[in-house]
Structures are given as C-alpha cells and as structure tokens.
Structure 1
Amino acid sequence: MDWDRLRIFHTVAESGSFTNAGARLNSSQSAVSRQIRALEESMKVSLFTRHARGLVLTQEGQELYNTAREVVLRIEETERSLMESKERPSGLLRVTTMVTFGAVWLTPHLEHFMSEYPDIDIKLILDDEDLDLAAGEADVAIRLHEPEQADLIQRPLATFHTHIYASPEYLDRKGMPIRIEDLDQHDLIAFGNSKVSTLQNLNWLVELSTGKKRRRPRLEINNLYGMLHAVEAGLGIAVLPDYLVHNRKKLVRVLPDVEEQPFNSYYCYPPELRGSLRVALFRDFMVRQIRSESNIL
C-alpha cells in the first residue's frame, strides 16, 4: 500500500473534506481528491460517501482509518522519542483530571514542574467525567478512581482520605456533634450529581447509620468546589477530601475519628506514549509532590 496515499487518506478522514485536507497538506483540493480516488481504485473499495456537507467514511473506510490512525500515532510517538533523546524535554503535554483536584491542588504545584522543564508546555483539561485517552482527547490522566479503560497504562499515585467538615460559625450556631447520632440534628450538605460516579462516596455522611433511615440532606450541590464554599459559608456539614481542605483556615474537622473507605488515585496514559519522556517526567513529578504532602492528603 502506498504510504503517501494512506497518509493523505488519514488527513482527509480527520478533516472531513478535501478542501480542509488540502489546506492541512498544503495541496490543492483536486490533487487530494485524485489521490483518494487512486487509493480506492487500487483497493477496489469505496472509502468515503460524498455528501453536500462533507465526507463520511464507509465501513471499509472506517476499518482502514482505524489502522492508519494507529500507524500515525506510532510514527508521531517515535518522532517524539527520537527528538527527546537528542534534546532537552520540550513540547506540549495535555493533562486531564477532576475539576477540584486540578484547580485546588494540581495547578498551584505546576509552577515547580514548569520551572524545572521550561520547554515543556502544559495544557490542563479539567473535567469530572473521564476523557478518552485512547481517542487522543488528552495525553495523560490523573484519575481519582480505578481506571475503566483496560488498555491504559496505570501507575498508582496515592491514597486520598475524606472527613467531615464544618465552619466555626456553623458550629457556634448549631453546636459540635459529639456522636454520630447527633448528625440527625444538623444541616447536611451532599454531592448531588449522579453522573459523576467517582464522587458518590462523598455521600456517606447522609448514610452513616445509627439504625435509622437515611438522613435527608439540607442542601445538594453538583460540584465539589461549590460544596466547599457552602461549608465555609456556614450552610451545613459535609464530607470533603482532605486535599481540598488542608489549607482552608476557616474549616473544622467534625467527628475526627469517623472516616469511610479512602480512595486511590492513578496516573494513566495510552500505550503509544510509553516511551515519552514528557509523560515520564510528569509522572515522577506527581509522585514526588504527593509523597511530600502525604500527611495532608
């Protein structure tokens, strides 16, 4: 199979039109179209269905695209590895993690990494739902749960703990709970987003049993950062991850001996980035930073 035509086919499939592909390849629309037509004739299959709004892959075209994409990704990774082996680390690293962990803990720590490696640029993508690394939506992910994609390389990072917190103003007004039963008389704040299964363990406060039925939360919020601000504002008591609270002067740990099952975190990336120096350096950085703060996570 002619590699040049396969490369052009891959670009057309990702661009959705001959015009856009031509712009990316610095070639004319007619030249790109001729190459695709020649590839189809040589393989005796139709690779695209032509529509007024663009091109759609046929079943045969999709099969060829899947293979071409794997080849392109491996070539790009080989190029990165070769460049990184000769030069100091450089280029863009796209990192994804949950919104609150990325905004509250990771972002302030990035200064250390970026100072140490000034030629590595970071694109931080914060999303409470997992991005698809295999589809190229990010390079690496810091997951606060066991990854569901079995084909990813997974490296354990740390174990995180959660505890019950309230503001001093709230405790002055409602009193400090001494026993689990006392929670029945308090305003509870719960995480209210069933789509983010990662955070459902934060609702163990309303289910903490004393033989009675499930407690009714006074306030539900579908964002962990919003829960933190609600607790700081004195609206009630909530379960929060310790990493989110450790530098917040306005919060008090309630029932400090009560803790549910902690949760693990993982550093994940697709197999094609196994040899990437940027990925390895950022992994080592994360391990160092988390270990240095293990007493507050």
Structure 2
Amino acid sequence: MNREPDWNFWRSFAAMVEHGSLSGAARALSISQPTIGRHIEALELALALKLFDRTLSGLKPNATALRLYEPIRTAQAAIAEANIRATGAQDTLLGTVRITASLIISHHVLPAILAPIRLAYPNIALEIIPSDTSENLLLNDADIALRMFRPTQLELISRHLGSTDIVALAHETYLARRGTPRTLDELFQHDLIGFSGSTALIDYAKTLGYTLTDDNFAIRSADQAYLWEAIKAGLGIGFGQKVLAQTTSGLVVLPIDIKAPPLPFWLTTHEHLFTSPRIRAIYDALANGITAYIRGEPKTPSIG
C-alpha cells in the first residue's frame, strides 16, 4: 500500500457497493458522479488493488471489494455511533437538528408546526429531509424521524403520538363533475388515483372483495406528493389522511367507510441523542405540534 486512503474514498467505495452505480452512490452521498469515480480510482491506487470491474453497464464490485465492504460498514457504524454520542453530550440550545418525515408530512404538515418552534428556538437550525424511505437513525442519517410504523431497534426511543384515519377523498370540482360515490361499488367505478410500482391498493381492495387492476387508476405515480396534488387538482378520487383532508381547501372526505386501518404516528430518536438539550427541545416541541395536528387543533400549538 502506498499510503493510507482518505476516509472519503472509503465512503464512496461503500456507497458504490451498496447502490450498484455511480449515479446511485452520488445521490446517496450528495456529491457528483465524477467525484465518486475519482475516489474509486484513488482508492484502488492507494491500495494497489483492483476493486471494481469496468463493464458496459458500469462498475461492478469484485470479490476483493465484497470482502472489504463489511469492515468498512462496521467502521461507518462505529463513526456514526461516535457522532451520535458526541451530539448527545452537547449541552446548548445551538446547532442543527435534522428531521426526516414522509413527503406528504414534510410538505403539507411540518411547515405550520415548525413556525412556532422556530420562534421559540431561533438559535437551532432545522434541516428537513423529506423521504418516503426509512432513514437510518443508527447510522446518523437524521436526528429525529417521524414514522408511520413503530421502530423496533433497541437503541431508539419512540413515542406514539396518535393515529389518523385513512379515507377516500376528492376535490369538490371532481365531485361536481362526476358526482359523489356513496358505496364501495360506486367508488370503484370512478377515476382513482394511486401508486405506480405498488400493488398495495389493489391487494387491499381484494380483501374487501373487489378486483382492481392498474386500469382502474386514471392517475398513477410513485411520488406521494404528486398524488396529493393530483387529488387537489380534481383529477380523481384518492386516499389519504382524514385530518389533512379536512384542513385542505376544496377537499371532501367521501361518506364511505373504506375499512382501512388508522395510520399511526411515531416520533423517534436515538437514545444517546435524547440527552442533547437541543434534540430534546425540538423532539418535545414536534411531539406537541404533531399531536395537535392529529387532533385537528389550531396550527399554532404550544411549545412547552
């Protein structure tokens, strides 16, 4: 080995193995594809080892790379744990708190909740990470996560804030044009809005005794935020949170029991971050704000 490789080279290496492409690794690390490529070349040069096969479809990790990957992942986890413990040891209401939540919550719920929090804690910057994937708090991807399921890792602290009903809904302009369905039979004759790349709605309809296909969905997308905007634009009937629908101008909750289980809200952080005053302050304020949202209370909840 000529010299010890820069840690950034190893981060790019791990991202390449995990995501399988320069583009995927670049997105994961928020750096450019050429930078990932240079890191891989520099790592191979420093180690005097070939780690990736160059193919027409891109870089493919070889057997040596796969053997090196696990200790690098272990090192990444250890560094993330050290960062988490260091953050938890800080005793000031200064710095940044990173919050991750779904696209819908991030775009349509959090802004109103964060307004009074910013007034109460002006020296704490908030970084919002809208994502429908599960950011890993154990790897320091975020400080606080709002989940729609109960996390199970022992190192995490989670608080159940309540649940909201999932309902069928549409914009009043769509209903004025097509009429308001009042039964499941009528509902499934309308233009439906749903997910592409997922059979969740189709599978759920089957449990209710209805056979649907992709053809039943006039508008499809893998992006939750787009689907919400499509409902608001009157493009069809969709499904979403009852409390959000009731506070969105023009949306109508349909008088149909779709028998969907309620959507739970869990606020989560790492146990070592919970001792940080700034993390705890934002965590508690978020808990109050989200609880008020679930209850349909005014959008300026108390901080304390």
Structure 2 length-normalised TM:
0.68
1:191-210 Cα offsets, whole Å, 9 max, x none, are 2243xx9xx4x66775473x
* Equivalent position amino acid for 2:122 in 1: P
Q: Structure 1 CA distance, aligned partners of 2:127 and 2:191?
A: 39
Q: What corresponds to 1:35 in structure 2?
A: none
Deviates more, 1:98-107 or 1:50-59: 50-59
Q: Which residue of 1 aligns with 2:135?
A: 131
CA distance in 1, matches of 2:262, 2:275: 32
1:14 corresponds in structure 2 to: 7
**Which residue matches 1:76?**
86
Kindly indicate whether residue 185 of structure 2 is the aligned counterpart of residue 181 of structure 1.
yes
Length-normalised TM-score, structure 1: 0.69
- Counterpart code for 1:105: V
Cα–Cα, structure 1 residues 270 and 183, in superposed 2: closer, same or farther, change >3 Å?
A: same
5+ residue gaps, structure 1: 1-8, 18-48
Rounded to whole Å, the distance in 1 between the matches of 2:141 and 2:289 is 25
1:221 alignment partner in structure 2: 221
Aligned-partner Cα distance in 2 for 1:180–1:61: 54
Looking at structure 1, the residues matched to 47 and 152 of structure 2 have their Cα atoms a distance apart, in angstroms, of 34
- Within 5 Å, which residues of 2 pair with 1:36-185? 51-52=44-45, 62=72, 65=75, 69=79, 72-73=82-83, 76-77=86-87, 79-80=89-90, 83-84=91-92, 89-147=93-151, 149-185=153-189
Alpha carbons 1:187, 1:237 under 8 Å: kept: yes
Contact 2:193 2:227 in 1 (8 A): yes
- Structure 2 distance, partners of 1:104, 1:228, is 10
Q: Which runs of 5+ in 2 are unaligned?
A: 11-41, 49-64, 298-304
Distance 1:203 1:238, change over 3 A: farther
- Partner SS for 1:176: coil
Equivalent position amino acid for 2:107 in 1: A
Aligned counterpart, 2:239: 239
1:89-122 CA-partner distances (Å, limit 9, x unpaired) = 1111111111110111012221111110111111
Percent of matched pairs sharing the same residue? 23
Could you tell me whether the CA contact under 8 Å between 2:81 and 2:139 is conserved in 1? Answer: no
- Give the alignment partner of residue 195 of structure 2, picking from 191, 195, 209: 191
What is the root-mean-square deviation of aligned Cα atoms in Å? 3.4
Q: Is the 8 A contact 1:94 1:124 kept in 2?
A: yes
Matches of 2:122 and 2:139 in 1, distance apart?
28
Q: 1:54 to 1:251 in 2, by over 3 A?
A: farther
- Distance across 2 between alignment mates of 1:290 and 1:243: 11
Deviation (angstroms), 1:291: 3.0
Structure 1 residues 147-156 or 93-102, which shifts more? 147-156
- Aligned residue identity for 1:251: L
Deviations 1:62-91 (A, max 9, x none): 5984686377336623641xx33xxxx111
Tell whether 2:248 aligns with 1:248: yes
Q: C-alpha displacement at 1:127, in angstroms?
A: 0.9
Q: Deviations over 1:240-282 (max 9, x none)?
A: 1124323222111112544411021111112221311122112
Q: Are 1:206 and 1:217, in contact at CA under 8 Å, matched by a contact in 2?
A: no
Is the partner of 1:134 in helix, strand or coil? Answer: helix
Query: Which one has a bigger Cα radius of gyration?
Result: 1
1:205/1:239 contact within 8 Å kept = no
Counterpart Cα distance in 1 of 2:191 and 2:212: 14
| 1:189 and 1:236 in contact (8 A); partners too | yes
Aligned partner of residue 280 in structure 1, secondary structure: helix
Cα 1:204–1:259 shift into 2, 3 Å: farther
Residue 142 of structure 1: how far off its partner (Å): 0.8
Change (3 A) 1:78 1:171: closer
